[in-house]
Amino acid sequence: MKDLGELKFFLGIEVSRSQKGILMCQSKYTVELVSEIGLSGCKPASTPIEFNYKLTSLEFDKYFNHNSELDKELTDSSKYQILVRRLLYLTITRPDIAFVVQVLSPFMHSPKKSHMEVALRVVRHIKGTAGLGLFMPSSRCSNLVSFCDSGWGSCVETRKSVTGHIVNFGNAVIS
């Protein structure tokens, strides 16, 4: 066994320690992702998705004739799949994009143009916030706080509820 010293970088996650706590971020991974997608020169988006923006599947569009002419299926779904997988890995240290990635994930097998546009908006959002991450404060704390929100019947296709949650241990996000 060999002592490699203090942890600085592990599986794409940068770890920085200070007296106040530990910061985990994926800024290098984020910059590489933005560069590979070709959005280095674009303007950053302030939010990962527009307010009340609803995505639908191809089957839903065929049945209800909902923008089926304007919103075509992507000819090459592999680019969308790769992008969503990379965004999913980024949610380890970026809970702010976790909801949007959850919304994009069900469309992996038959993505449409609108799905790709939302995924690219997420990339534009993380471009402007590349240095964000999770901060684990060094201060002692023993309170566990959980927040939950639900949009009753907010799924356009199934009319099911969409729920999100966050769990904090003191000031640190743990789930």
Q: What does 96-136 look like in DSSP terms, one character per residue? A: GGHHHHHHHGGGSSS-BHHHHHHHHHHHHHHHHTTT-EEEE
User: Domain residue spans in the chain?
Assistant: 9-140
> pLDDT tens for residues 113-161?
999 999 999 999 999 999 899 998 888 888 899 998 888 877 777 788 8
34 contact partners, CB below 8 Å, separation of at least 6: 40, 123, 126, 127, 130
pLDDT tens digits, 32-74: 999 999 999 999 999 999 988 888 888 888 887 666 667 888 9
Q: Rounded CA gap, 3 and 157, in Å?
A: 54
Q: Residue 139: its pLDDT value, please?
A: 85
Average pLDDT over residues 79-103: 93
Nearest to 136, CA basis, from 31, 35, 15, 49:
15
What average pLDDT does this structure show over 99-106? Answer: 92
pLDDT at 66: 60
pLDDT at position 104 is 94
Residue 65, pLDDT score: 67
Nearest to 97 by CA among 30, 8, 6: 30
